[in-house]
């Protein structure tokens, strides 16, 4: 090999190395630039001024929330007031009123089985009782079919389960009845 060919080979090798180095540097600079654009600066907070999409989303949510808060829900009458809902039931026709029994007791239902039970309404609350238990100051002495005997201060009171007029004449049971042979109820 002669000296000129060695110099030419080194020159070509140097030129190729220089082109590769410059190309690699350019690619590296471009990749770093795109990564910098994608990198989120966590130290600096994102503000509504710098992010228009975030501002539009928040404005939309706020206006929707204000519309919801501005809406008003009203009803003309209490939907849970059963006196209006079941006004055509026999109780309304017979003049049934819960307020009349605030002072007294009323037998609501009896269940006659191995251990008879009764439901007695007293001061606006229903009590499920068995023989020997107390309702107010009265003790339950006996529970029979459609009647309960109470004792208070030496005197006895008999509560009877009386059906509402009209229901008895029409056969006693309605589509809304849940009665069985062992259970009777007056409402």
Average pLDDT of the segment spanning 98-117: 76
Average pLDDT of the segment spanning 155-178: 61
Domain total of the chain: 2
Same domain, 65 and 112: no
Average pLDDT of the segment spanning 73-102: 56
Quick one: what percent of the chain has pLDDT higher than 90?
A: 27
Domain finish residue from 50, 70, 90: 70
For residue 80, is it within any domain? no
Same domain, 112 and 54: no
Same domain, 106 and 173: yes
Average pLDDT of the segment spanning 152-168: 76
For residue 14, is it within any domain? yes
- What's the domain range around 106? 101-185
For residue 92, is it within any domain? no
- Full 3-state SS string of the chain: CCHHHHHHHHHHHHHHHHHHHHHHHHHHHHHHHHHHHHCCCCCCCCCCCCCHHHHHHHHHHHHHHHHHHHCCCCCCCCCCCHHHHCCCCHHHHCCCCHHHHCCCEEEEEEECCCCCEEEEEECCEEEEECCCCEECCEEEEEEECCEEEEEECCEEEEEECCCCCCCCCCCCCCCCCCCECCEEECC
Give me the pLDDT at residue 183, please. Answer: 44
For residue 61, is it within any domain? yes
Return d(Cα 121, Cα 109) in angstroms, integer.
Answer: 10
Same domain, 7 and 63: yes
Task: Give the predicted TM-score (pTM) of the model.
Answer: 0.38
pLDDT in tens, 7-44: 999 999 999 999 999 999 999 998 888 777 766 656 66
Domain finish residue from 47, 70, 93: 70
For residue 91, is it within any domain? no
CATH at 172: 2.30.30.830
């Amino acid at each position: 090999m002669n000296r000129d060919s060695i110099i030419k080979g080194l020159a070509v090798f140097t030129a190729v190395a220089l082109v590769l180095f410059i190309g690699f540097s350019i690619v590296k600079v471009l990749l770093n630039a795109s990564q910098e654009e994608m990198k989120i600066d966590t130290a600096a907070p994102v503000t509504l001024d710098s992010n228009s999409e975030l501002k539009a989303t928040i404005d939309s949510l706020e206006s929707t929330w204000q519309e919801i808060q501005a809406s008003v829900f009203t009803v003309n009458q209490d939907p849970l007031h059963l006196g209006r809902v079941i006004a055509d039931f026999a109780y309304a026709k017979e003049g049934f009123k819960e307020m009349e029994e605030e002072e007294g007791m009323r037998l609501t239902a009896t269940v006659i089985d191995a251990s008879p039970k009764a439901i007695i309404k007293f001061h606006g609350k229903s009590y499920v009782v068995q023989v020997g238990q107390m309702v107010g100051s009265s003790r339950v002495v006996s529970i029979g079919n459609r009647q309960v005997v109470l004792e208070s201060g030496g005197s006895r009171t008999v509560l009877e389960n009386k059906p509402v007029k009209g229901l008895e004449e029409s056969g006693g049971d309605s589509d809304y009845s849940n009665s069985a042979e062992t259970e009777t109820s007056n409402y």
